[in-house]
Each structure stands twice: as structure tokens, then as C-alpha cells.
Amino acid sequence: MTASGTIARVLLVGFMGSGKTLVGQALARRLGWAFRDFDQEVRFRVGLPIPEIFRQHGEAHFREMERVVGAELLQEERVVLATGGGWPADIGRMDALPPGTLTIWLKVTPEEAIRRAREEGPTRPLLAVPDPVERARELLGDRERFYRKADRALDSEGGTPEELAREIETIMISTGRENAPSASA
């Protein structure tokens, strides 16, 4: 995490379908903090759904937007941030986070990620391939070394979003959070 031990923001990383958005929303509610989602912000700024951004502008444009949005949102405080699954997979990115950032890796298996992605419909262009489980295995294999840099890892299949949020809150308290309501309660 950081030098001072004061947590200003929680950054959730993990593969597509790991529950970053649901857990992040639940955690933000518990803390009374804001919730911000990188993908949602990119969608809003470009004015298109993610698959359309990939289709019309290409993945490189999406990645650039994601980089810009990520750098901006990481300046906010008292905020829970849900990254897109590919955001951490850039050399040095997980090593250059602003002070006060607690990073949590929500782990998910490729099979469960694909099961959840199917439930949500065709929102993930990278998984729109004939064998999405194989694709998820490859991507996860490439990205694990980046996700692994997070301060803590939680099994996303180990509880409901509310339960996982509660676990993260406990981690925050035990790592010395000073500026959120339940730490001083």
C-alpha cells in the first residue's frame, strides 16, 4: 500500500467477471465513499458502449481512454475505484499508484468469468471469440503477474458482493484506516 497507512482510495483489480463493480458499489455504500468505474467513465466520455468503442475506434483507442480516465480517477479521495480487467496489465502501472491507494485483487477462474460474462450478455469484446474459456485462460495467464502486485487477494467466489465488501472493510481497518467512519466508531 503506502507510506502513511492512511487509505484514501481502494482500487479493485481483477479479470472480467470478477465482480469489481458489484463489490465496489457495496464497499462504497458501506464506507459512505464515492464509487467510480473506469469502464463507465470511458463509455460516458466517448458516448458509446465498450464493444462499439472497440469496433469503431479500435482497442488502442479504448486503452488510451482507459489510461487517461484511470490517471484522473486515481487523484480522487474517499473513493472506491473499479478498474477494467486490462487496466493493470501495463508495465509499471501497478507500481506507480498514488500514496494512499489500497489495491485488492478479486480472483476468479476463467470458467466462472465466462459463466458470469454469458449472463451479462455481449459486453466484452475480448471474449467474443469461438472459444472464450480458452481466451480467458490465455489473458489471465498473461495478466496474473500484474494482478499479483495488489496488496491483498480475495476469492471472488468466496462470498456475495456484500460479504466481500465487508472483508475489504476489515482489511482497511486492520491496515490502519484513519479517515473513514467505521475506523473511528
Task: Tell me how far, at minimum, the Cβ of 155 lies from ligand S3P, in Å.
Answer: 17
Collapsed DSSP state (helix, strand, coil) of residue 107: strand
Which residue number, 115 or 181, has a Cβ lying nearer to ligand S3P?
115
Q: Which residues of 21-53 are buried (b: 16+ CB within 10 A; e: fewer)?
A: bbbbbbbbebbebebbbbbebbbeebebebeeb
Which residue number, 2 or 21, has a Cβ lying nearer to ligand S3P?
21
Task: Tell me how far, at minimum, the Cβ of 180 lies from ligand S3P, in Å.
Answer: 25
Task: Tell me how far, at minimum, the Cβ of 118 lies from ligand S3P, in Å.
Answer: 13
Task: Tell me how far, at minimum, the Cβ of 142 lies from ligand S3P, in Å.
Answer: 10
Which residue number, 125 or 159, has a Cβ lying nearer to ligand S3P?
125
Which residue number, 16 or 73, has a Cβ lying nearer to ligand S3P?
16
Interior CA angle at 151 toward 86 and 155, to 5°? 70
Task: Tell me how far, at minimum, the Cβ of 47 lies from ligand S3P, in Å.
Answer: 16
Nearest to 15 by CA among 137, 162, 101, 134: 137
Task: Tell me how far, at minimum, the Cβ of 39 lies from ligand S3P, in Å.
Answer: 5
Which residue number, 84 or 100, has a Cβ lying nearer to ligand S3P?
84
Whole-Å CA distances, 100 to 8, 113, 130 = 5, 29, 42
Whole-Å CA distances, 83 to 38, 137, 151, 184 = 5, 19, 15, 28
Alpha helices in 32-151 (DSSP H): 38-46, 50-57, 59-73, 110-120, 132-147
Give the binding site for ligand S3P (CB under 6 A): 16, 20, 39, 50, 84-86, 124-126
